[in-house]
Amino acid sequence: MQIIHTIAELRAWRKTVSSVAFVPTMGNLHEGHLALIEQAKKEENHVVVSIFVNRLQFGQGEDFEQYPRTLQQDADKLRHAGVAVLFAPDERELYPNVAQNYHVEPPHLQNELCGAFRPHHFRGVATVVCKLFNIVQADTACFGKKDYQQLAIIQGMVDDLNVPIRIVPVDTGRAADGLALSSRNQYLNADERAEAPRLYQQLQWIGTQVAAGNHHYAALENAAKSTLSAHGWTVDYVEIREAGSLNVARLGDKNLVVLAAARLGKTRLIDNLEIQAA
Active site residues: 33
Strand segments, DSSP code E, in 16-104 are 20-25, 46-51, 85-87
Report the DSSP beta bridge partners of residue 261. Answer: 237, 270
> Is 9 one of the annotated binding-site residues?
no
Residue type present at position 60: Q
Separation of alpha carbons 254 and 242, rounded Å: 8
Cα 56 to Cα 64: distance, rounded to the nearest angstrom: 9
Strands 267-276 and 255-264: antiparallel
Tell me: is residue 145 an annotated ligand-binding position: yes
Residue 181 labelled as part of a binding site: yes
Q: Is 182 annotated as a binding residue?
A: yes
Asked whether residue 63 is marked as a ligand-binding residue, the answer is no
137 is in an annotated binding site: no
82 assigned binding-site residue: no
Angle at 163 between CA 171 and CA 183, to 5 degrees: 35
Is 226 labeled as ligand-binding?
no
Residue type, 79: R
Q: Is 19 annotated as a binding residue?
A: no
> How many CB atoms are located within 10 Å of the residue 165 CB?
17
173 is in an annotated binding site: yes
3-state secondary structure 115-179: HHHCCCHHHHHHHHHHHHHHHHCCCEEEEECCCHHHHHHHHHHHHHCCCCCEEEEECCCECCCCC
Q: How many CB atoms lie within 10 A of CB 92?
A: 9
Residue 254 known to bind ligand: no
Q: Is 57 a known ligand-binding residue? A: yes
Question: Which residue in 247, 263, 266 sits closest to 255, CA to CA?
Answer: 247
Q: Are 243 and 256 in contact (CB under 8 A)?
A: yes
Q: Does 41 carry a binding-site annotation?
A: no
* Segment holding 40, helix H or strand E: helix 31-43
Q: Is 31 annotated as a binding residue?
A: yes
Count of other CB atoms within 10 angstroms of residue 175? 17
Binding-site residues, please? 26-33, 57, 144-147, 150, 173, 181-184
Binding-site residues for beta-alanine, please? 57
Binding-site residues for ATP, please? 26-33, 144-147, 173, 181-184
Binding-site residues for (R)-pantoate, please? 57, 150
